[in-house]
Structure 1
């Protein structure tokens, strides 16, 4: 079965991988949020993704935006996937590619209703969650992603015994 884009072209193998990876990350975020706190889930996911790094090179902002776009596309395939699982999945995909992404949760009062929202940033750029989210919501939680570490080519000396 092939997924077709609007103009009829097939997805490349690289894009298939991004879609599959996004779906897995979103599913893990949805399940994880039911049994863990956001900060602990974020840290655990970033640690796992950093160990499963794809490339030893640092991710570019364009690649981070592309990963976030695929998370957004994949979220349409999983019912009930809102902003927080999307922000977590984006943070994990960026960490898997050697990047550093920050998860934000904010609140706002609109028309006497309380609203909350989550978004992910890389530097000053909002990757997912809307570019105006930092202005519309008062941040109440910030979770820094795992700092990118060099991918080890060999096992530590303690493992080789």
Structure 2
């Protein structure tokens, strides 16, 4: 399912297999309902919910080591994009959902090779794509049905 897509895209985009470890936001061995019931009085006393899915976290490993604090900004961007594209791939291929994908300045902090790989992955997905770029050169190899230039609040078609 999702992890399968993450591994495939990780190898394709990052040259290594990322791994996700889900850390639930309540004690192991208890159901969420049980944990919430047990912490109810404390939660009411302090006015916050101490346990629940909002306390969950994802730990991402690269080469079996924690990614946080050791990967570059470009790698962080690629890793985040890989997570999103894994979800998109899952929705399209496994669930048959139509997806609209929004990409903001994808070219920032990615070298040409990584950007090309990203383009190959996205082009292989059946998505409606909206994409921003600071420079036209960053998207010149992409095929678009429409392109617009926005300047000082004025929008004009350029394609």
Assess same fold via TM > 0.5. Answer: no
**TM-score, with normalisation over the residues of structure 1?**
0.33
Larger RCO: 1 or 2 (CA < 8 Å, sep 6+)? 1
| Larger Rg belongs to | 2
